[in-house]
Amino acid sequence: MRVTASTIGKALLLLGLVLFHVHNFLLYDPTWGYDGRAHTLLVQLYSQSVEFDPLAIYGGTNPPLYYVVAGKILEATRSLKAVQAFSLVAFATTLTVIWMTLRTVCPESPLRWPIFVFFALNPLHLAYGYMVFNYALAQALAVAFVCVLLVLAVRGDRPPPRLLAPGLGLWAAAGVWTALTNLALLPIGAAFLFLRPSAPRRTRLLTTIVFLAVSLVAIAPFAAVRNLEQGCFLCTANRPVSKRPFYESYPAHYYFWVSLRPFHHPHVPYFWKDGMWPVLYQTYFSDYFNYIVGPRYALAGTEATPIKVGPHTTDARRNDAFTVLNYLGLPLAAAMLAAFAISVRNAWRHLRDRRPDGFADFIVCVASIVYLAQFVAYIHRYPDYVNIHAGYLFPMTAPLWVQAARRLAPGPAVGTVAGTLIVALVLYCATAAATFFLR
């Protein structure tokens, strides 16, 4: 077999990514992360199988699946590093699923490798790989669920697995047992099964009913416990619920105005004034929540300089470190917006003509809209926490990037759009790696 320079380069790149993450993992103390000590305490309580009042412990009312699994790992190994390794395995699994989806959905796109490396070095994703908390598993389950639907959508001419509907139902239920934001998987899965172009109407209706029935039955015990403990299924303890009507939570310009102030003063945004999009942008392209940068200062032996930002704190010296990342993310954000716009247009066409080649666009569109709608509902219920939980939208960005590779750079040729995105992705990934290489 002939070994090309390209193959050697890709192998070296993979080896470099593995060494990067193993190095960071070995040095990173999970209790340094955002609410790390609180989540670690919860894992310890589950490992000891002791009775505790969930309302009296931060995160105690979170869905339990991650903490049960992590508790068993801690009980068996007596090592918090082993629990942290579980998060790293979930991170690696997510990367593997994204790569397989890119290879299947857009096999000729020159953006495949740059996008894969982007997810390997994205600051928000790094947090899920190194931390001990439920979203390490929750986001992996959500990303894999949507990616599998995309793969099935582009392979519409092949018969789906016989147990597809109940399997997806259990998968979605496992996601909800890990984080309530994974409720988004239910409408996404139902839309996929009910509108599959290759199946007859009766089959589509039955598989959708089976999917929803299996999901809801599996979720029911958890919902019952939450209602007994908190009085409602969607309640979130330790956060003040807004009493204002939905339309009074934010002014109208909050949903479309993009302030430039966060770019000049990164990571100290007036998140209730600057609009939703700058906050989402900062969360995705840098480290707004002190997930990763805190350990970087700790390892360097540098004393932190905290600044109060809403209900949480940030570090003043991060401002300069992330200004470059903020600007380098602009063309990448534009690519995601373009991918979303194309998915909306093609989804509308698909609903009219039912052509199978538009079904993958339809899934991207549905996933994006469902996650955005869920997020808007959340920030109206807890207005002061929009900046903290913008990462809830992370699962929808994987299909958006797959869509970018599929529609903006569909062939092997490197045109203007593909070339621009490759350069932007490479520059961003190199800067992120330098910023987050913990030493």
Q: What is the pTM of this model?
A: 0.91
CB 364 within 8 A of CB 402: yes
* Cβ atoms < 10 Å from Cβ of 4: 9
> Could you give the CA distance from residue 170 to residue 246 in angstroms, rounded to a whole number?
33
Backbone torsion region of residue 29, taken as left when φ is above 0, otherwise alpha when ψ lies between -120 and 50, otherwise beta:
beta
The CA-based dihedral angle spanning residues 338, 341, 343, 348, taken in that order and rounded to the nearest 10 degrees: -160
From first to last of its 439 residues, the chain has per-residue pLDDT tens of 556 888 888 889 899 999 988 888 888 887 776 677 888 888 989 888 878 877 778 777 888 899 999 999 999 998 999 999 999 999 999 999 999 999 999 998 999 999 999 999 988 888 888 888 889 999 999 999 999 999 999 987 677 777 899 999 999 999 999 999 999 999 999 999 999 887 888 889 999 999 999 999 999 998 888 877 777 777 776 677 777 777 777 777 788 877 777 676 655 545 556 677 877 787 788 766 656 655 555 555 555 555 665 555 555 555 566 778 888 889 999 999 999 999 999 999 998 888 888 999 999 999 999 999 998 888 888 776 665 577 788 999 999 999 999 999 988 888 889 999 999 999 999 988 887 775 4
Q: Give the pLDDT score at 138.
A: 94
Place of tokens 């520059």: 427
3-state secondary structure of 387: coil
Rounded to a whole number of angstroms, the CA Rg of the chain reads 22
| CA distances for 106 relative to 252, 398, 431, angstroms | 38, 13, 26
3-state secondary structure of 313: strand
CB 438 within 8 A of CB 27: yes
CB 295 within 8 A of CB 438: yes
> Could you give the CA distance from residue 20 to residue 28 in angstroms, rounded to a whole number?
12
Q: Give the pLDDT score at 439.
A: 47
